[in-house]
């Protein structure tokens, strides 16, 4: 539709007036930056400066945020790595303890190398079950410990619970895991040598076995606690602050007391007999039971009949040999019945158990296994272990011989010697530990000078289904002790 402007003269003029007014208002909103109006120019500069300040503040905050984020990520990574190092250190300590438990007396570990319980926790104090008592160092000390040099933090602590070889006479035992722990090292990534990354501490404590004495083991169970400590990124705020990673592992070690013999020589069977015409030759041998009541103990496998193995052993001694068999009791000679009535030792009365132990358990758990008859002479004998009581280099071994063992020359060893056949020979045998003659049950030591610190166990097993006990045979002479 077309309409002529002449038809609406008033409306056109009104529209033009409004348009001019709007244009005039728009121009008034634009700043006048001419030299004739400097005040408006200064106002614009101030606004720009404010915008720049705000932008810089935002960028600074973003930089701080990203910086804190990066630092946090570094600390998270470091804490994770430190946690893993502490965990591995604690595991290493527990594995170390497991290897050292062989051949160590629980009471020696509980009382420390000096053999004396600390006066801080006297005997009869019921502290075995306390969590803090089982820690070598307190939790706060472990968290702030100088992993590289912890000596000052642990100085003055008693040696109770430290792994050691045990006190011999007046000679303190050798500490195997020291109070300052064992350091774990790694190659230095920034130079030659190594750096200490973590450290573990190990302490042995008694379980709550009901005797009220935390330094005497009454049930063959002790608690081994390993604490792994690894350092993290250090912060300084008015001084060095450490927040180490700390990991604790704990295990209970149970000592099998099946062969915890109550005399240095145990002869088991319904009857015992000499391996040669005489059970005791000469008057130079000595069998000393020490703290045990008897030097020779017998285990009667058929207590219901009239055979008395104790009487058989005493009858084999000449009266002038009585004082060669001694013990802590008043019996002379120190020969007596030690047939078990309770505990792990009851298994000694089960021929099935002994047969399985001799022919299945021992071959699979020994350090060295020899099948068939063996003849070992002096320097040609295999390595049989060592156990110097005042030297940390002790390495007892479990040696198994499935057959007869004939010894000659000078032979020494430590640990467990297990023989299923006959044990015999001549020369000198020095042994620290146990000699178990289980099978033929024949031990002829008449031609040897035997120095045995530990025990000798002799039992005869007759093959069958089930196996049965036979007659144990034993002879000793010379200057054996």
Burial of 239 (0-12, 13-18, 19+ CB in 10 A): exposed
pLDDT tens for 225-240 read: 999 999 876 554 455 5
- The rounded distance, in Å, linking the Cα atoms of 427 and 267 is 23
* Percent of the chain residues topping a pLDDT of 90: 49
pLDDT tens for 264-310 read: 999 999 999 999 899 999 888 999 999 999 999 999 999 889 999 99
pLDDT at 78: 65
pLDDT at 16: 39
pLDDT at 470: 96
Average pLDDT of the segment spanning 245-249: 93
Mean pLDDT over the full length of the chain: 84
- The rounded distance, in Å, linking the Cα atoms of 400 and 357 is 12
Handedness of CA 113, 114, 120, 121 (dihedral sign): positive
pLDDT tens for 98-155 read: 988 876 889 999 999 999 888 666 555 566 567 788 888 888 889 888 999 999 999 8
Contact criterion met (CB below 8 Å) for 461 and 354:
yes
pLDDT at 2: 44
pLDDT tens for 409-421 read: 999 999 999 999 9
Average pLDDT of the segment spanning 241-260: 86
End-to-end CA distance of the chain: 140
- What band does 448 get if pLDDT is binned at 50, 70 and 90? confident
- Residue bearing tokens 């104090």: 125
Q: Indicate if the pLDDT at residue 392 is higher than 80.
A: no
Closest by CA to 242, choosing from 234, 254, 253, 252, is 234
pLDDT at 15: 40
DSSP H or E run through 183: strand 182-187
Q: Kindly write down the DSSP assignment for every residue of 387-456, as one continuous string.
A: --TT-TT-EEEEEEEES-EEEESEEEEEEEEEESSEEEE-EEEEEEEEEEEEES-EEEETTEEEEEEEEE
Closest by CA to 357, choosing from 233, 467, 263, 249, is 467
Q: What is the DSSP letter of 175?
A: B
pLDDT tens for 32-44 read: 545 555 555 566 6
pLDDT at 279: 95
Number of Cβ within a 10 Å radius of residue 86: 28
Q: Indicate if the pLDDT at residue 46 is higher than 80.
A: no
Number of Cβ within a 10 Å radius of residue 72: 10
Q: Indicate if the pLDDT at residue 183 is higher than 60.
A: yes
pLDDT at 30: 46
- The rounded distance, in Å, linking the Cα atoms of 279 and 353 is 28
Q: Which residues contact 262 (CB under 8 A, 6 or more apart)?
A: 292, 293, 294, 297, 338
Question: Encoding tokens for residue 219?
Answer: 């049930």
Query: Which residues, in sequence order, are bridge partners of residue 452?
Result: 431
Q: Indicate if the pLDDT at residue 323 is higher than 90.
A: yes
pLDDT at 236: 47
pLDDT at 233: 62
pLDDT at 380: 86
- The rounded distance, in Å, linking the Cα atoms of 130 and 286 is 46
pLDDT at 343: 86
Average pLDDT of the segment spanning 67-75: 69
Closest by CA to 335, choosing from 303, 295, 306, is 295
């Amino acid at each position: 539709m077309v309409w002529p402007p002449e038809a609406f003269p008033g409306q056109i003029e009104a529209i033009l007036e409004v348009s001019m007014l709007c244009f005039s208002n728009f121009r008034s909103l634009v700043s006048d930056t001419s030299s004739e109006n400097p005040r408006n120019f200064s106002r614009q500069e101030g606004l720009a400066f404010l915008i720049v300040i705000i932008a810089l503040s935002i960028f600074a905050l973003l930089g701080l945020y990203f910086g804190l984020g990066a630092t946090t990520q570094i600390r998270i990574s470091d804490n994770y790595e430190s946690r893993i190092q502490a965990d591995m250190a604690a595991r290493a300590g527990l594995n170390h303890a497991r290897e050292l438990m062989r051949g160590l007396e629980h009471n020696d570990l509980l009382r420390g190398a000096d053999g004396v319980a600390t006066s801080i926790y006297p005997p009869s104090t019921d502290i075995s079950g306390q969590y803090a008592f089982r820690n070598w160092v307190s939790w706060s000390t472990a968290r702030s410990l100088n992993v590289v040099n912890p000596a000052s933090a642990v100085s003055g602590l008693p040696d109770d619970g430290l792994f050691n070889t045990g006190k011999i006479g007046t000679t303190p035992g050798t500490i195997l895991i020291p109070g300052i722990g064992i350091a774990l090292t790694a190659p230095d990534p920034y130079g030659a040598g190594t750096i200490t990354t973590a450290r573990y501490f190990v302490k042995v404590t008694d379980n709550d076995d009901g005797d009220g004495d935390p330094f005497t083991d009454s049930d063959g169970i002790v608690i081994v606690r390993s604490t792994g400590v690894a350092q993290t990124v250090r912060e300084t705020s008015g001084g060095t602050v450490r927040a180490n990673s700390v990991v604790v592992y704990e295990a209970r070690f149970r000592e099998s007391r099946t062969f915890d013999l109550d005399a240095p020589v145990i002869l088991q069977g319904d009857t015992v007999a000499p391996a040669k015409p005489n059970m005791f030759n000469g008057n130079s041998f000595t069998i000393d039971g020490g703290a045990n009541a008897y030097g020779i103990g017998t285990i009667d496998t058929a207590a219901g009949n009239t055979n008395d193995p104790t009487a058989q052993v005493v009858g084999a001694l000449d009266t002038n040999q009585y004082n060669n068999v001694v013990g802590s009791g008043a019996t002379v000679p120190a020969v007596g019945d030690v047939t078990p009535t309770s505990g792990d030792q009851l298994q000694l009365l089960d021929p099935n158990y002994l047969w399985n132990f001799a022919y299945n358990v021992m071959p699979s758990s020994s350090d060295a296994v020899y099948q068939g008859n063996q003849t070992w002479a002096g320097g040609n004998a295999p390595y049989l272990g060592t156990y110097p009581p005042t030297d940390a280099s002790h390495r007892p071994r479990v040696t198994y011989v499935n057959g007869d063992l004939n010894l000659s020359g000078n032979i020494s060893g430590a640990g467990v010697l297990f023989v299923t056949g006959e044990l015999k020979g001549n020369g000198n045998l020095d042994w620290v530990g146990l000699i178990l003659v289980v099978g033929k049950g024949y031990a002829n030591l008449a031609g040897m000078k035997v120095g045995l610190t530990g025990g000798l166990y002799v039992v005869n097993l007759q093959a069958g289904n089930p196996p049965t006990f036979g007659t144990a045979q034993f002879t000793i002479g010379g200057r054996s002790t």
